[in-house]
Amino acid sequence: MLLQNLLSPLPPPGVEEHFQTLLSRSGLRLERIVSHGHASPAGFWYEQSEDEWVLLVQGHAELAFGDGEQLALSPGDWLLIPAGRRHRVAATGPDTVWLALHLAT
């Protein structure tokens, strides 16, 4: 057993968000995502084949959806993004930490 901390150490800011798989089992994958002012590229949309449960642990973020809905997230906010729902990261703050649970449908 190896004890680790979700918030330390955080990777330094870079060109891309940092994705780290924390747990992977049949039908699910748990990731830590660290953002430092990142946003999805203009015109880019995620449209995944699996449900994604997202929790904002630290920082702040804004998500945009293909149907025009926009959500501002604060620490502790979570949501389930159904498979196939177009979405993108509109904005993030420094040292923003997410947990994303990908669930096979």
Q: Note the pLDDT tens digit of each residue in 79-95.
A: 999 999 999 999 999 99
Nearest-angstrom CA–CA distance, 9 and 19: 14
Amino acid at 102: H
- Of the candidates 65, 60, 23, 22, the one whose C-alpha atom is nearest the C-alpha of residue 40 is 65
Asked if the 25-103 domain carries CATH number 3.40.50.1820, the reply is: no
User: Which pLDDT does position 38 carry in this prediction?
Assistant: 97
Per-domain residue ranges of the chain = 25-103
Mean pLDDT by 10 residues, the chain (105 residues): 93 95 97 97 95 98 98 98 98 98 92
Q: Which pTM does this prediction carry? A: 0.93
Residues 6+ apart with CB under 8 A from 25: none
User: Which pLDDT does position 1 carry in this prediction?
Assistant: 81
